[in-house]
Amino acid sequence: ESTRTPLMAGNWKMNLNHLEAIAHVQKLAFALTDKDFAEVEVAVLTPFTDLRSVQTLVDGDRLKIKYGAQDISAHDSGAYTGETSGPMLAKLKCAYVAVGHSERRQYHAEDDAVVNAKVKAAFKHGLTPILCVGEGLDVRKAGQQVPYTLAQLDGALKGVAAEQAATVVVAYEPVWAIGTGEVATPEDAQEVCGAIRGRLAELYDQALADGVRIQYGGSVKAGNVAAIMAQPDVDGALVGGAALDAEEFVKIVRFRD
């Protein structure tokens, strides 16, 4: 059993307006107990338009729920219409920001260089990136999931100092398992999460690698989370669809029950 505190993060994607967000976080706050928060870190990654409302609620009620965004600009300010900067997210006291989610890579042409710049922007402003990596179905069928995913990891962490890399969260999300209902087997998740930790040890050192949290993401639900969490190198889950149901997400946080 590792000393890493599991991180259960809900990725709401483009769902829940700011009023729905308040109702949802209130449900989580009502259900989750101090015991839950002592054992597991809980975070929600919301649309930008929800962040201020969630901040107000979390601050006002001193909730232990962490929150953050689903993307960050590589730039600090300026003529980048439609983007949201690290300083803006930091001002809202975001703890986390997803970087390199497969939907950003697919629909917004984010390559490893962009992801690397966004990882650096997050660290620069005191935000913890949840760095998403993972292979598509073609790569999986060719048996290349480990080298493919490690190449994404290398690209994303290029030039990132150990001091910062020590705090990164890596989310292994096989693209074929996202939103498809097709969850990776625990063994599949472990194979790549273990390889990610191994690569972190090569890039930095073993102590750093042992401290980094590596999540699995892809069709995680209350019914399959325990088996995945039982794997030695899986330290949490990045949860999409199932995070939109507060009761289900609470069950995922209580994966040990």
Q: How far is CA 24 from CA 44, 45, 52, 105, in A?
A: 10, 12, 14, 28
Can you tell me which residue has the tokens 């190449």? 151
Q: Please pick, among 41, 173, 191, 248, the residue that the annotation labels catalytic.
A: 173
Q: Please, which residue, 128 or 204, has the CB nearer to ligand PEP?
A: 128
Q: Please, which residue, 88 or 225, has the CB nearer to ligand PEP?
A: 225
In whole angstroms, the minimum distance from the beta carbon of 26 to ligand PEP comes to 22
Tell me, yes or no, if 75 is annotated catalytic. Answer: no
Closest CA to 191 of 210, 172, 171: 172
Q: Please, which residue, 88 or 222, has the CB nearer to ligand PEP?
A: 222
Residue 179 annotated as binding? yes
Residue 85 annotated as binding? no
Residue 53 annotated as binding? no
Q: Please compute, for residue 216, the number of CA atoms within 13 A of its CA located in the half-sphere on the CB side.
A: 32
Q: Please pick, among 24, 41, 101, 103, the residue that the annotation labels catalytic.
A: 101
Helix, strand, or coil (residue 22): helix
Tell me, yes or no, if 191 is annotated catalytic. Answer: no
Q: Applying CB under 6 A, which residues contact ligand PEP?
A: 11, 13, 173, 178-179, 217-220, 238-242
In whole angstroms, the minimum distance from the beta carbon of 159 to ligand PEP comes to 26
In whole angstroms, the minimum distance from the beta carbon of 248 to ligand PEP comes to 11
Structure tokens at 112: 């490893």
In whole angstroms, the minimum distance from the beta carbon of 238 to ligand PEP comes to 5
Residue 176 annotated as binding? no
Q: How far is CA 65 from CA 5, 31, 41, 50, 251, in A?
A: 14, 12, 8, 14, 15
Q: Which residues pair with residue 171 across a beta bridge?
A: 132, 215
Q: Please, which residue, 179 or 232, has the CB nearer to ligand PEP?
A: 179
Can you tell me which residue has the tokens 């946080």? 253
Residue 181 annotated as binding? no
Ranked by CB distance to ligand PEP, the top (closest) residue is 240
- CA distance linking residue 19 with residue 192, whole number of Å: 38
Cα 140 to chain centroid distance, Å, stands at 21
- Positions annotated as catalytic residues are 101, 173
Annotated binding site: 11-13, 179, 219, 240-241
Residues in the annotated binding site for substrate: 11-13, 179, 219, 240-241
